[in-house]
Structure 1
Amino acid sequence: MRKSGQNLMVGAGILTLAGIIAKLLSAVYRIPFQNLVGNTGFYVYQQVYPIYGIGVVLALSGWPVFISKIITEQPDEAHQQLVARRLFWWLLFISCGLFILVYGGAPILALGMGGNLKLTPVVKAVAWMFWFMPFLAVGRGFAQGQLNMVPTAISQIIEQIARVAIIIAIAWYGVTAKWSVYTIGTWAMAAAAIAAAAATLYMSGVVKSIWRTPITKAVKKDKSIGWFRIFHRLWNEGNLLAMLAGLLVLLQLVDSFSTKGLLEIYGLSTQAAEYAKGVYDRGQPLVQLGMVLATAISTSLLPVLRNHVVHHEQKDFINDFQMMFRLSLILSGVATCGLMAVMPVVNQVLFSTREGSQSLIVFVLTVIPATLILIGTSVLQSLNKTRGIGWLIILTMVIKYGLNIWLVPQYGIIGASWSTILSLLPMLSIVMHRLPKTLWQQWHGPRWWGKFILTLLGVLVGAGGWCQISDIFIGSSRLANLITLIIAILIGIIVFIIMLWRLRLLSVAEWYALPKGHKIYNFLERRNK
């Protein structure tokens, strides 16, 4: 396999592993948290969570991906470091503005989130994390621009471990001390700033390194990396990438400002609406888990594709895109079918009841279009063909809001799930249409779609069938469901691997591109002889 492809997959592999660990922690901490504070307490936390989610997107994937792209374009280390320095000061200025906006506007935001002023201190608590974004974004982006994904991966894990540990401790102590759910929510959101500080401490070495090389006057006078040129690109390209990476968080923000009131129109009381919204929010960590690979691939894909563009390596560009697109489609499809198959079981294991399983099954369908949008827009970004995409994201949010107004009052919380997936389809169609036609030439083999659908059905029937049988013979207690879930995951993985191999859905190169894929492929080939 080519060196660029190997670098791409190594980078994606590192970020995928870190993402899986972080998302598992993000899902696991919700178990004791939701069980301790209840669905209403979970609702309080999740109402403000999109603001935290936007901060994470900016510091972890949005701005760093843009920074990695612009770093890759520079001819030498001096240019790279000067760009990084100037971006740091611009991001510090923007972060200051975001802090003032969120902290100062907390009462207005709280009123917008269901007319509940008790959410004001919760909103204020999360605002403090914005001060750490310049350090994390520039440190991560600078390292990624040099195709070093390790600092991003480790800092992500440090940040998540610190945040999860603090949140669980706060929930336990708050319940013991009989705090209100709003006090617990305030301190839980404050954990975001503390965790960001821990990650910043780890990234301090990388951040310091951008001031290591003395910059000559000739480099400083380069107009292509002037102060306002850098800001213009940050505002147009960087913020666009942040919006793309945070697309689902932005849709979640729409839910925070609309769903509770619409559920009351549906006929629920205020308390019942908050409870139902808390149940609906269970879907967020599950979708995030399904999106881990897409986020990692898109983060690793952009600097590599941009490098192909800069060096006019069209054939390598097409090959890398096609391989990543096929793998992303297959893996996101299998993740979606797997989550759908085990949803009632995983719902009870994580959150103690099977409430809202139908709406969550619909909700996880968003993994596929969201994944393809991420990959497609990464390609458009590498080709500098993103004009109008920002407005498309805003249009998607407007469509989501409009569909909420139409569907939630008629169908309740499942209407919010349908509005999310339906709002993504127009954007997916436009993004795929805007990709160059040359990328689609011979991008899959004969009968590929039939093999792909058969593989998804195999996983859905295998894992889902086991869950149905297990309910009858093992029972539906929480412990029984945990055993069922573990076995269902193993069945799903085994069926998936066997179907991939038997149907020859992946090429040998694609098998080798997957983590441990070469060992699995060689083992299966030996067993067949």
Structure 2
Amino acid sequence: MSDSKLMRGTAILTAATIASKILGLIYIFPFTAIVGQTGIALYQYGYLPYTVLLSLATLGVPLAISKFVSKYHALGDYNTGHRLFKSGLFILSISGFIAFLLLFLSAPKLAPMVVDTSDLQGNSYEDIVFTIRMVSVALIVVPIMSVIRGYFQGFQSMGPTAVSQVVEQLVRIIFILSITFVIVEVMNGNTGKAVGFATFGAFVGALGGLAVLLTYWFKRKQSIQEQIELSKVDHKLSFKSMYKELVAYALPLSFVGLALPLYQLIDMFTFNKTLTSNGWDKLVAETYFAVFSGTAHKVILIPMALATALSITLIPTITKSFTNQDKGILQKQITQTFQIILFLTIPAAVGLSVLSYPVFGSLYGLADIEIGGFILRYYAPIALFFSLFAVTAAILQGINKQKYAVIALAVGLTMKLMTTKWLLVLMGPLGGVFSTYLGYFASLGITVWAIGKYAEFNYRFILKRTILISLFSFVMAIGVITINVGMKEFMTEPSRFGQFATLILGAGAGLIIYMFLSYRTNLAGQVLGNRFRILNKNKKMNGST
């Protein structure tokens, strides 16, 4: 397999992942319009434990299998990878079914842990149980898909994974929006039933993704079998040896991927209970939780996705430089990775915070804008923490120190667990926000230290860059705030259109100010000049002379 073909496959998979995430963001707007913020809270009650159990049932299998299969293919042994594939289908079918039974049967026990079920306001005990049970069915299918995707990726064939991801997301979204619209708007049904069927969309989408993968499998089955028969080597590994190696690959990937769901799961079991026991109205508490864990959270993931998508392409080259002990190039690659994250995420987080009310009002309407804008204002900067943890964990993976990413996650989760309830009592709904900051800050302290120690990385230059980018973001924020205040004076009556106009003008002005400052100082050219030559001011000037 040529390097160019591998890079093309990786680019396709990256594009598909980004497309899938964008689709996952866009559907939340009409979905929220149909079911409201309490419906979003109910959706999270089902989806968060499902996500955690899914990660535990699959244990980072796609990437781990792909790494295992690719390794033995490179040694001329196609049979060992195929044996893992067949046994993996069997084992993950069992683990998926066990996870399904666990979630399905535990639903009645989980519901009272989430909300006070004696209070008739908000989501009911029956609605929560129904929602959890409906989403649990997807656990039967999704682990099987992960094995097939990993096996194809082991052949450096990213197309099946890419296409199945997009199809799975499309089918899921179409089902969710269709079923909720029919139940709520056409049949005048209740929100609880609509959201329960919406979470069943995870199973329907998985069937769509599996159908794509099986189509690819039957098309390629014969050629794969021919490669197996022509294998030059057979290591004849025992199943114990195979799975010991697989788990060594998978565990770090699985735990790091669990970061966000586990943080949100802690909030799910503490947020409503703590607030209501301290005098908060249950319906208000659930609305705050829906915004914090659902609607505002989705918006915050946008800058994280853009930043990590650009920087993550450097990770394979970091692995190569570390393996070859090329310290000079390694330093440059890590520096560039950090620069991209900071250059994109700091202004995006500042912009989201300053424009929190127009952003929330434009996307979700005015019904809960006071709660949504308030939470988003304080929660937006977490995008930087999310991005930095994802990338520092990936760098540690590249330099074979992934155990420190796992340790960092464990320390962060412990901090989150210890501070959430206390801060919720002390600060109200913002307690959940700031306990997340503390958790990620603790995790980043470890990952940043580990990179400095084991990659011998000096952060002095990155610190200077952070100060400069923060200064430009501050100037940008002043300009955006000025427009925001001016638009409030101009508009006598609040409207969704007015919020949208404020957002467009504010975001446009912020982008112009930040990019002007970055271009004039050639910061943009130094950070992104290799990707977008138009931003490289110095080269442009030299080319014209």
Scaled to the shorter chain, the TM-score interval is: 0.7 to 0.9
Question: Which ranges of structure 1 fall in alignment gaps of 5 or more residues?
Answer: none
User: Aligned in 2, Cα 1:139/1:319: closer, same or farther, shift over 3 Å?
Assistant: farther
Residue equivalent to 1:366: 382
Structure 2 partner of 1:108 = 109
Change (3 A) 1:383 1:441: same
Q: Can you list the C-alpha shifts for 1:70-91, whole angstroms capped at 9, x where unaligned? A: 4554452754674365153343
C-alpha displacement at 1:407, in angstroms?
Answer: 1.0
* Cα distance in 2 for residues equivalent to 1:98 and 1:430: 32
- Letter paired with 1:469: G
Q: Give structure 2 stretches of 5+ with no counterpart.
A: 118-124
What is aligned with 2:465? 448
SS in 2 for 1:495: helix
**Structure 1 length as normaliser, TM-score?**
0.85
Give distance in 1, aligned partners of 2:518 and 2:155.
34
C-alpha contact 1:5 1:320 (8 A) present in aligned 2: no
Decide which of 118, 121, 124 is 2:130's aligned counterpart.
121
- C-alpha distance in 1, partners of 2:64/2:348? 27
Going from structure 1 to structure 2, the CA distance change for 1:508 and 1:390 (only over 3 Å counts) comes to closer
Q: Deviations over 1:458-510 (max 9, x none)?
A: 44334443333223225631012223323333333333333332222245584
2:98 partner letter: G
Match of 1:334 in 2: 347
Counterpart of 1:465?
A: 482
Structure 1 residues 153 and 52: CA distance shift in structure 2, 3 A: farther
1:172 aligns with 2:181: yes
Q: 1:369 to 1:137 in 2, by over 3 A?
A: same
**Deviations, residues 44-76 of structure 1 (Å, cap 9, x unaligned):** 112222134447768999443434444554452
State yes or no: 1:48 paired with 2:46: yes
Aligned to 2:122: none
Distance change (3 Å), C-alpha of 1:464 and 1:133: farther
Residue equivalent to 1:285: 298
Q: Aligned residue for 1:231?
A: 243
Q: Share of identical aligned residues, percent?
A: 22
| 1:323 aligned partner | 336
Of 427-436 and 186-195, more deviation after overlay is shown by 427-436
Q: Tell me, in whole angstroms, the C-alpha distance in 2 between the residues paired with 1:274 and 1:97.
A: 30
Q: TM-score, normalised by structure 2?
A: 0.83
- Alpha-carbon offset, residue 330 of structure 1: 2.0
The 8 Å contact of residues 57 and 242 in structure 1, kept in 2 or not, is answered as yes
- Answer 1 or 2: higher relative contact order, Cα 8 Å, separation at least 6: 1
Distance 1:215 1:441 in 2: 51
Find the residue that maps to 2:280 and give its secondary structure: coil
* Paired amino acid for 2:484: C
CA distance in 2, matches of 1:37, 1:164: 14
Structure 2 Cα separation of the partners of residues 230 and 429 of structure 1: 35
Confirm whether residue 247 of structure 1 aligns to residue 262 of structure 2.
no
Q: 1:379 to 1:496 in 2, by over 3 A?
A: same
Say which SS state the counterpart of residue 374 (structure 1) adopts. helix
Native 8 Å contact 1:61 1:245 kept in 2: no
The 3 A distance-change label for structure 1 pair 350 and 394 is same
Contact 2:271 2:289 in 1 (8 A): yes
Matched, 1:155 2:173: no
Structure 1 position 236, deviation (Å): 4.3
Q: Is the 1:291–1:371 contact (alpha carbons within 8 Å) kept by the matching residues of 2?
A: yes
CA distance in 2, matches of 1:214, 1:146: 12
Number of residue equivalences? 521
Equivalences for 1:61-460 in 2 at 5 Å? 62-74=60-72, 76=74, 78-79=76-77, 82-83=80-81, 86=84, 88-89=88-89, 90-114=91-115, 116=117, 117-118=125-126, 119-142=128-151, 150-176=159-185, 177-204=187-214, 207=217, 209=220, 211-212=224-225, 213-214=227-228, 219-223=233-237, 226-281=238-293, 282-296=295-309, 300-309=313-322, 315-353=328-366, 354-356=369-371, 357-387=373-403, 389-437=405-453, 438-441=455-458, 444=461, 447-460=464-477
- Specify whether residues 150 and 75 from structure 1 end up closer, same or farther in structure 2 by C-alpha distance, changes over 3 A only: closer
User: In terms of Rg, which structure is larger?
Assistant: 2
The residue type equivalent to 1:328 in the other structure is: I
Pair 460,147 (structure 1): closer, same or farther in 2 beyond 3 Å = farther
Measure, in 1, the Cα distance between the counterparts of 2:188 and 2:456: 59
**Counterpart AA for 1:324:** T
Amino acid in the other structure paired with 1:390: V
How far apart in 2 are the matches of 1:57 and 1:470? 45
